Amino acid sequence: MSLPHAILTALLEKPSSGLELTRRFDKSIGYFWSATHQQIYRELGKLEADGLIRALPAEQPARGQKKSYEVLPAGRAELERWTSATQDPKPMRDTLLLRLRAAAVVGTAGIEADLRRHLELHERQLTEYREIERRDFPPGRDSPQDRLHHLILRAGIDLETFWTRWLAHALEEFAALPDGRAADTGDAGDAGVTDGAASNGGAGTTPPR
Amino acid sequence: MSLPHAILTALLEKPSSGLELTRRFDKSIGYFWSATHQQIYRELGKLEADGLIRALPAEQPARGQKKSYEVLPAGRAELERWTSATQDPKPMRDTLLLRLRAAAVVGTAGIEADLRRHLELHERQLTEYREIERRDFPPGRDSPQDRLHHLILRAGIDLETFWTRWLAHALEEFAALPDGRAADTGDAGDAGVTDGAASNGGAGTTPPR
DNA sequence: CCCCATTGTGCAACTAGTTGCACAATGGGG
DNA sequence: CCCCATTGTGCAACTAGTTGCACAATGGGG
């Protein structure tokens, strides 16, 4: 859906080979649009076939390529079109929140460790973003590009800040819970299977019909 | 990947038919795990075939069903397993941030209107969440389920708060930009914004034929 | 009473993303 | 100098999610 446009952007910023793109995706654009090298190679092929990019002329004969690509005018036009077109936000999908919801009915045993792990991952990411900010956006730099790139980085920083705070809060909440077991899973055989309904009683984000 | 588990959770909370699930996904679980009715029906079929859920015995003969499903012990066990298993966070993919990055190289003309629209959508969502919070979580409710559900809702509220703030800030930034055009300011010596992006100073912008 | 808009269930084809390889070129260590 | 670990490019099969229908049942308005 958007991978071709991510690639066009990256190539406009700097013509690159598949591998270079892969590296740059790992470092930068990939922070908000991840892609594997296989996806990138496949997409480069399509973009070339569609006449949006072309291989830079190089003098190696064939195999073991290191082919570099650059964007053609048609590619830039397509990127411009796509960037300014109205697009609806994709509906959200978050596994962790879903698991928490499941834990509310099935018990919180076991999930806490993973919450803690996620907290650490987000802290690490946050640190990395802050490092980038310190390095690439010292006060004073404020060309339009700088401002936009900084704005994007700020989104990353703020999102990671949100997650670290929220996860920390969640863990506190867990500590205050009766014990490892959040749900009253009054495991009464087949009755237990449907107990969530009874104990729901208007609680949660599921309003009673 | 997680849709079956979302369905198991929903069915544990309350046995339902495909349509009821669809409705509930629109209102509640779908806030963080959206699914279409087609996905839900397909998945219900699989879950039943796998013996994780079963159709509640009902007395209609066949067609025009309104079949309701409930979770079997095997389904509950699977949900428990999944909930407590370690899982890596999915790499992020955000179109809006990607488009902004594209705008930094291709020009910001046209994107501002959509930013404004997104701001409105997020404000609306935020209002909705706050409404739910007011309605379903009055002070005093604090069974373990309530606390967990509230925690999840809080994540939604805080995320929407982040987006509305960030988008508002982005729009301010845009207002301060030279004009509709962020790119083409020809600052060729601009090294290493996050990945050396701006250093090409327009190379590839107008490729030689 | 019958028509047709609405509600509910579902299949099929497609698109996007992931996983698991395959294999060529390169280059430093034995 | 040659072997094999590493780097770089790529195909194929699979999984998850989306889009576009199809069609049965229901129920209120003419």
Q: Are A25 and A10 in contact (CB under 8 A)?
A: yes
- DSSP category for residue B32: T
Given CATH 2.60.40.1220, say whether it is the number of domain B3-58+67-84: no
Average pLDDT, chain A: 82
Question: Pairing relation of β-strands B68-71 and B53-55?
Answer: antiparallel
For A28, B88, B148, B197, the CA distances from B190, given in Å and listed in that order, are: 17, 36, 48, 9
Residues 115-154 of A with CB under 7 A from strand D: none
B203 by DSSP, 3-state: which? coil
**What's the pLDDT at B197?**
37
Structure tokens at B44: 């219900």
A153 in contact with chain B, both atoms CB, cutoff 8 A? yes
Q: Mean pLDDT throughout B30-56?
A: 90
Quickly list DSSP for A52-96. SEEEPP----SSS---EEEE-HHHHHHHHHHHHS--PPPPPB-HH
Q: Mean pLDDT throughout A180-184?
A: 47
Instruction: List pLDDT tens digits, range B157-200.
Output: 999 999 999 999 999 998 887 765 444 444 433 333 344 333 33
What residue spans define the domains of chain A? 3-83, 95-197
For residue B17, which phi and psi values (nearest 5 degrees)? -90, 170
For A122, A153, B22, B106, B154, the CA distances from B166, given in Å and listed in that order, are: 19, 11, 32, 22, 18
- DSSP category for residue B139: T
CA distance B156 to A155: 16
Instruction: List pLDDT tens digits, range B88-133.
Output: 888 889 999 999 999 999 999 889 999 999 999 999 999 999 999 9
CA distance A26 to B172: 30
> Residue A36 CB closer than 7 angstroms to strand C?
yes
Say if residue A121's pLDDT is above 90. Answer: yes
Minimal-distance CA residue of chain B relative to A109: B84
Contacts of A117 in chain B (CB under 8 A): 86
**What's the pLDDT at B65?**
54
Q: Mean pLDDT throughout A100-122?
A: 93
Query: Interhelix angle for B144-176 vs A144-176, to 10°?
Result: 170
For A73, A143, A147, B106, B206, the CA distances from B182, given in Å and listed in that order, are: 18, 9, 9, 8, 17
Nearest to B83 among A5, A110, A117 (CB): A110
Q: Which listed CATH number (1.10.10.10, 3.20.20.210, 3.30.70.260, 3.30.160.160) goes with A3-83? A: 1.10.10.10
